[in-house]
Amino acid sequence: MLAVEMNGITKRFPGMVANDNISFNIEQGEIHCLLGENGAGKSTLMKVLFGLYKPEEGTIKVKGKEISHMTPNLAYELGMGMVHQHFMLIENLTVLENIILGHEPGKGMHIDRKEATEKLTALSEKFGFALSLEKKISELSVGEKQRVEIMKTLYRGADIIILDEPTAVLTPLEIEQLLNVLKDMRKDNKTIIFITHKLNETMEVSDQVTVLRNGASVANVRTKDTTPQELANLMVGQTMSFEVIKASSEKSEKPVISLENVRLLEHAVNTATLDIKGGEILGIAGVDGNGQQELEELIIGIRKCKEGSIRLDGEDVTHLNSRKRREFGIGYIPADRWKHGIVKELSLKENYLLGNQFRSEYAKNGIINYAYLDKKAKELMKLFDVRAVNVEQKIGGLSGGNQQKLVLGREVSTGPKLVVASQPTRGLDIGAIQYIKQVLLQLRSEGKAVLLISADLTDLFQISDRIAVLYKGEVMDVRPSEEYTNESISLLMAGKKEEKNG
């Protein structure tokens, strides 16, 4: 039986066709992956299904019933729920209060918290959510917040659940937990629509895959009948190579950067000591929240170093501000590019200027040399394959991959000695991911030092020379990447050191 039927769906926005005559059907009780690169039209199609957008053409059926005018309220009545990429939770309310908001049990002004607690506890135990109902949302990890969003849909009786890029901001452990939850939901005959661009997750969890490219549906296949390579080729429209060429490089004798006895977390028992040489990529592994953010902020100078020292090319930079450190040779690709990397309301060329406005070739006596800026921004667009209308386009209108390419290009163009790359591939599609990796390897071959902080172990193993594992603000181990196994690195990430024989 088909849970959802979408036939001939076309959705247009000014200047573009987001969905072009797409037909999309979902079997009841299956996990169906909607696969495609950023901008392929996946989220738009699901917003049409959920009633957030009205299509210009096409028909929708839910459980055999044709819907002439879908709205979010009607979608809820039909048993649909949607978990958006950006969560819709109220931070200062508890888990329980967020879930029951608008659907409170009880009579009149009285909310029956006991009834709500019993129902949510049963749901939590059934699907293995392990959530504390009385915790405030502000106290939860990203993965826990997502589980709250899923529980909201289940509490309201949804049996068709749309998940929009659900793993984009999760750690490997949280991703594994989520996929297990989805498998349990499938056993309970729930129908799951999983929007993603990640091939390994698609292969692991889905029954069927629909591939979108440039707003059109290009394939629908049973997962067991396809391969990651075939799906990748369909996504990009050509043969996609997953090969990452990691050529040998000559390391400098002295470290480009040294951190000695710095305290990453206030409650850490021990301080951390690390160094990176030129021609080397040092990867940082660990579950989010174990000192990665503090490490990147200490190095680039937006967090004060209260204990220990930081030296760049032998010079003490411990107490220099971020501007001085940038002038000293540090490039920075932040984990949160919207907060620390770009200004969405500014144009592409204005974003290229950020951090360069103090350099004499870009500005003199406070007056910006716009002719030079325009020239350099256009060069960057071409060199780093930033796909935009022109340098005047607002960067907020670009895909995540193109935003990241601009940040990467801007930081590399300054000729840094060290590049701090924090979660550089998070949330990007496969083409952008491969591109970012190759640029980081090129920096390594040029003798630059690269600090790669990533929650993606595949990235770390592929391009790092050494990997340091952080746990509760401490360095559990540092060794060549090839000396780790998935098991050994996972144990260290959980705070358990290997027992050595003899």
The sign of the dihedral angle between the CA atoms of 36, 38, 40, 43 is positive
Residues with Cβ < 8 Å from 157, sequence gap 6 or more? 79
All residues at 6 or more sequence positions from 386 whose CB lies less than 8 Å from its CB, including other chains: 348, 380, 398, 402, 405, 406, 409
| Type and span of the H or E element at 371 | helix 370-383
Q: If DSSP codes are grouped into helix, strand and coil, which group holds residue 211?
A: strand
The CA distances from residue 82 to 48, 205, 210, in Å, are: 12, 18, 18
Rounded Cα distance between 254 and 278, Å, is 8
Give dist(CA 402, CA 148) in Å, integer. Answer: 31
Q: Could you give the CA distance from residue 346 to residue 254 in angstroms, rounded to a whole number?
A: 40
Question: Whose structure tokens read 């924090």?
Answer: 422
Cα 366 to Cα 362: distance, rounded to the nearest angstrom:
10
pLDDT of residue 498: 65
Query: Which 3 state secondary structure label does DSSP give 417?
Result: coil
Taking the alpha carbons at both ends of the chain, their separation in whole angstroms is 61
- Among residues 38, 52, 36, 46, the alpha carbon closest in space to that of 6 is found at 46
Count CB neighbours of 477 within 10 A. Answer: 17
**Grouped pLDDT means (10 residues each) for the chain, 502 residues:** 95 89 96 88 94 95 94 94 86 91 80 88 85 88 85 91 84 80 93 91 96 94 95 86 79 93 93 96 91 94 94 94 91 87 92 89 88 93 87 86 89 92 83 88 95 90 95 95 89 78 46
pLDDT score of 171: 65
> From the centroid of its chain, how far is CA 399?
13
The answer to whether residues 375 and 329 touch, using CB atoms and an 8 Å cutoff, is no
CA atoms of 393 and 397, how far apart (whole Å) = 8
For 59-112, write each residue's pLDDT tens digit: 999 999 999 999 999 999 999 999 987 788 998 999 999 999 888 888 777 888
* Element of type H or E holding 74: helix 72-77
Specify whether the CB–CB gap between 55 and 98 falls below 8 A: no
- Domains of the chain by start residue, with CATH: 2-236 (3.40.50.300), 255-494 (3.40.50.300)
pTM over 0.75: no
What does the CA dihedral 107, 110, 114, 116 come to, rounded to 10 degrees?
70
**Given this model, what pLDDT does residue 430 score?**
78
CA dist., res. 257 & res. 269, Å (int): 23
